[in-house]
Amino acid sequence: MNPSLQRAVTSFYNLVYEAQTFATAMARIDTAEQEHYAGRIEGLNWVLDRCQELEDMDANLTPSSLQRVLGEVKSDLEHELSVQRREKGRRADGREEALNFVADYLSSLITATEIESAKTTAA
């Protein structure tokens, strides 16, 4: 995998981790919104658990195998979002908010992986 794609994957994982750290700090500061932040933390923890493979990824991972992993994460994320949309309450709102935040970045990363995969296939 090329270094730019590898940096993008690492940055994605770090972004989710930092968002979780931020939500944890905010839950301690903003006690009025503590339950909402707890929902965000839950959602981001779910993503971090699901993306563990990305943190441990090997630099020799091919774009197509990365694409497969990201596709599986996206499928699981879409399912989890549909579950969250059926649930009501502030905690579920915070969790859904966190998952939506991650979904946008994940979609961008999948697009980048598809572009890189097409380059290696054409070469």
Domain count, the chain: 1
CATH number for the domain harbouring residue 64: 1.20.120
Give this prediction's pTM.
0.81
CA distance linking residue 16 with residue 46, whole number of Å: 10
Three-state DSSP at 22 gives helix
Tens-place pLDDT, residues 57-90? 766 678 888 888 889 989 999 998 888 777 765 5
What's the residue count for the chain?
A: 123
Q: Domain containing 91: what range?
A: 3-122
CA distance linking residue 116 with residue 102, whole number of Å: 21
Tens-place pLDDT, residues 25-64? 999 999 898 888 998 999 899 898 888 877 777 666 788 8
DSSP state of 88: -
Closest CA to 98 of 32, 46, 26, 34: 46
